[in-house]
Amino acid sequence: MAFIRSPMAEPQSADARSRRWVVILLASLLLHLLAFNWANGHIGMPSWRDETQTVITTALLTEPKKIIAPPSAGIAKPKLKPKPKRRHRAAPPPVQEAQSVPAPVVVEPTDILPEAAGDAVAADTPQTPPPEASIEPAPPANETQAAAPYKIDPPPSAELTYDVFALRDEQKWYGSGAFRWESAGGNYRVTGEASISLFFKITVLNFSSEGMINDTGIAPVLYSEKPWRKSLTNTHFQHEQRKISFSASEAVYPYKGGEQDRASVIWQLASIGRGDPGQFQPGAEMDVVVAGPRDADTWRIQVIGEEEIETPYGKLAAWHVVRTPRPESHDQKIDIWLASQREWYPVKVRYTYASGDFLDMALSSLTPLAH
């Protein structure tokens, strides 16, 4: 028996399949709606990975200074409204009021480099101190009185060269140094340098001082110092404004006359010796305010006595004077030998640091300069 395929069977089968696909599509949409509702709207575009690196800057914090302000006179304290008394309840214990802490002082760490015959803490970039540091500091000790008058006779112009021997971190270094002293027409200028020799010459310090010569002797106007791999600093002696200021700090010191810088002080001592050798006696002391790159301090200079020393220039008789810093100070000790038979020129200078390291300069040649 043969089956005859009905021509209407094909369309009915296509309609059934269409309805089935519609049902599947509706079910799929329903499932997607349920998934979106479960995610609660937290579906978004994936973010790109942030390649930017986070830089963390650290700083050394020093304990802020406590400033105790004096009580203000004539200012009435505001009256506080009394708190209402609470019945049937014990008063709670008093709560200690938290003290307000001032903003900490941020100190930028600096790279400490080899010291030379100058201030070892000159920073590459002058630091701006906090508001508390802008207060004018008290003058150095013994500065309240004017410098004692000395008889002054500056030495003639000359160029002096030195052999340098230094001990640094238990290593010995050799090099050379120089002073160029010029005095004419009531003005002076002194320049100097110290260097060491490795495979080549390394200048560890350049400095200069210039100004006038008056009744108090050497009167600096500008002192400049440039240690190795450090920024140049300037110290200004403002005679008319009666103050000493610094490019490397905001400190200000009064100027009364007789103050020196780290370069001129040696030539001031030489001028005192030439003015009257009797002013140099064993045990004698001189107080001199000396300014460096960032501040000023009173140097107590003691006369040790006359000694005979060996130098590359020869054997010389010289007056030995020494500046010893205060025990709490980390500044250098300075020994100076002034040759009375050689115009009181500094024929030997030694800088000794708190660590025990030192830099020694001994005269090797002396050339007079004509003006």
Query: What's the CATH number where 333 sits?
Result: 2.40.360
172: left (phi over 0), alpha (psi -120 to 50) or beta: beta
**What's the domain count of the chain?**
1
- 246: confidence class by pLDDT, cuts 50, 70, 90: very high
User: What pLDDT score does 207 carry?
Assistant: 96
Give 327-338 pLDDT, tens digit per residue: 877 888 999 999
In degrees, to the nearest 5, what angle opens at C-alpha 357 toward C-alphas 353 and 358? 80
Q: What is the mean pLDDT of the chain?
A: 75
71 within domain boundaries = no
Alpha-carbon gap, residue 223 to 268, rounded angstroms? 14
293 near 124, Cβ under 8 Å? no
Alpha-carbon gap, residue 299 to 295, rounded angstroms? 13
Domain that holds residue 266: 153-368
What is the SS3 assignment for 164? strand
By DSSP bridging, strand 187-197 and strand 171-184 are antiparallel
245 within domain boundaries = yes
Residue 313 has pLDDT above 70, yes or no: yes
Structure tokens at 119: 């201030």
310 within domain boundaries = yes
User: What pLDDT score does 125 carry?
Assistant: 41
User: What pLDDT score does 24 carry?
Assistant: 73
What one-letter code names the amino acid at 133?
A: A
Residue 311 has pLDDT above 80, yes or no: yes
347 within domain boundaries = yes
105 within domain boundaries = no
75 within domain boundaries = no
Alpha-carbon gap, residue 328 to 274, rounded angstroms? 34
Alpha-carbon gap, residue 64 to 133, rounded angstroms? 11
Alpha-carbon gap, residue 55 to 60, rounded angstroms? 17
Structure tokens at 364: 């090797």
By DSSP bridging, strand 171-184 and strand 158-168 are antiparallel
Residue 157 has pLDDT above 90, yes or no: yes
Alpha-carbon gap, residue 186 to 55, rounded angstroms? 57
11 within domain boundaries = no
Question: Which helix or strand (DSSP H or E) is residue 210 part of?
Answer: strand 201-214
Give 13-29 pLDDT, tens digit per residue: 556 666 776 667 766 66
Question: What torsion do the CA atoms of 226, 231, 237, 238 make, to the nearest 10 degrees?
Answer: 150
Q: pTM of the entire structure?
A: 0.62
What one-letter code names the amino acid at 123?
A: A
Give 75-110 pLDDT, tens digit per residue: 444 444 455 454 444 444 444 444 443 443 333 333
By DSSP bridging, strand 260-261 and strand 285-291 are parallel
Alpha-carbon gap, residue 260 to 238, rounded angstroms? 12
In degrees, to the nearest 5, what angle opens at C-alpha 202 toward C-alphas 260 and 266? 20
Give 191-240 pLDDT, tens digit per residue: 999 998 888 888 888 999 999 999 999 999 999 999 988 999 999 999 99
Residue 150 has pLDDT above 50, yes or no: yes
User: What pLDDT score does 112 carry?
Assistant: 29
334 near 346, Cβ under 8 Å? no
DSSP state of 278: G
Alpha-carbon gap, residue 347 to 337, rounded angstroms? 6
Residue 141 has pLDDT above 80, yes or no: no
Alpha-carbon gap, residue 270 to 278, rounded angstroms? 13
Please count the residues of the chain.
Answer: 371
206 within domain boundaries = yes
Alpha-carbon gap, residue 251 to 291, rounded angstroms? 11
Taking residue 314's Cβ as centre, other Cβ atoms within 10 Å add up to: 11
Q: Give the residue, 4 or 188, on which the prediction is more confident.
A: 188
